Amino acid sequence: MNIPLLVDSHCHLDRLDLTPHGGRLENALEFAYQQGVGYFLCVCIDLEHYPGILAIAGQHDNIALSVGVHPNERAGEEPTIERLVDLAQHPQVVAIGETGLDYFRVKKTDSEWQRRRFRHHIAAARQTGKPLIIHMREATEDTLHILEEEGAAEVGGVMHCFVENWDIARRAMALNFHISFSGIVTFPNARELREVAQRMPLERLLVETDSPYLAPAPHRGQTNQPAYVRHVAECIAGLRNTSLAEIAAATTGNFNALFRIKRRV
């Protein structure tokens, strides 16, 4: 069998449930290789956990990193532009994020700090020339507005775990962003999202797990892991009436180009 080479463009390797893998990340990665998943972007959500993910990436040349503070994180260090720029100098850091806006847990009126932090991340991305990883939940208009206002199109990036409709996808792509699908696209009731996966240009498509969250079908409700990005890619191949090999080649090529991965995967 010819195994396609897939990339998990968004995972949290320091948070995986390793119980099924004998407690070892190596075994989880080995299981992913067996499914044809050979490269991973481990996404930072706060600066307190950054040294941990840096240590994981330091042991593997097929793991890239981002640096940033998630819009839902409030307890830790508030990142300045200078601090983000400084941390982003590490050669394995390929992106700034995840950043963005999330009004699911915090009301819009109480979230000026989220918007300020988001603007700082965009400024850091523009200073370093690195693309952005955007988290957008129940905050679509404000997120797109700030991306536009701060000139994020100059560096572009990815709308991670995209869950919106075709109109929003078009607007995000017009701002120079890629669209990344998680396991949500495998849920039959995600009708509008599945339509986006069908219609969008292949050149802007990425796949991710966001593991340990959001396991795709047929593992819905279980803990998620990078190997399962194969289910996301298979689902999109089915929706677009094409092969897994074509989706794998396109999404991996898009990933390499967007994040300027030197060791080609």
List the structure tokens of 226. 């990078």
What is the closest distance, in whole angstroms, from the C-beta atom of residue 245 to Zn ion in the complex?
27
Closest chain position to Zn ion (CB): 135
Instruction: Supply the DSSP string of 59-107, one letter for each residue.
Output: T-TTEEEEE---TT--SSPPPPHHHHHHHTTSTTEEEEEEEEEETTTS-
- Sorted by sequence, the CB contacts under 8 Å of residue 117 that are 6+ apart come out as 69, 71, 78, 79, 99
Q: How far is the CB of 98 from Zn ion (least distance, A)?
A: 5
What lies within 8 Å, CB to CB, of 118 at 6+ separation is: 71, 99, 100, 101, 143, 146
Please say which residue, 92 or 240, places its beta carbon nearer to Zn ion.
Answer: 92
| Beta carbons of 90 and 54 less than 8 angstroms apart | yes
- Which segment (24-32, 190-198, 203-211, 219-227) binds Zn ion by CB under 5 A? 203-211
CA-atom Rg of the chain in angstroms: 17
Site string for Zn ion, 163-202 (x = CB under 5 A): ----------------------------------------
For 181, phi then psi, to 5°, come to -100, 135
121 binds Zn ion (CB under 5 A): no
Residue pair 176/156 in contact (Cβ under 8 Å)? The answer is yes
- Binding characters for Zn ion, 26-55, by CB under 5 A (x = yes): ------------------------------
Of residues 206-225, those binding Zn ion (CB under 5 A): 210
Asked if residue 135 binds Zn ion (CB under 5 A), the reply is yes
Closer to Zn ion at the Cβ: 45 or 155? 45
- Nearest distance, CB of residue 110 and Zn ion, angstroms: 20
CA nearest to 17, candidates 8, 28, 9: 28
Instruction: Determine the interface stretch with Zn ion among 61-69, 113-121, 127-135, 146-154 (rule: CB under 5 A).
Output: 127-135
Using CB under 5 A, which of the segments 79-87, 108-116, 128-136, 189-197 binds Zn ion?
128-136
Binding site for Zn ion (CB under 5 A): 135, 210
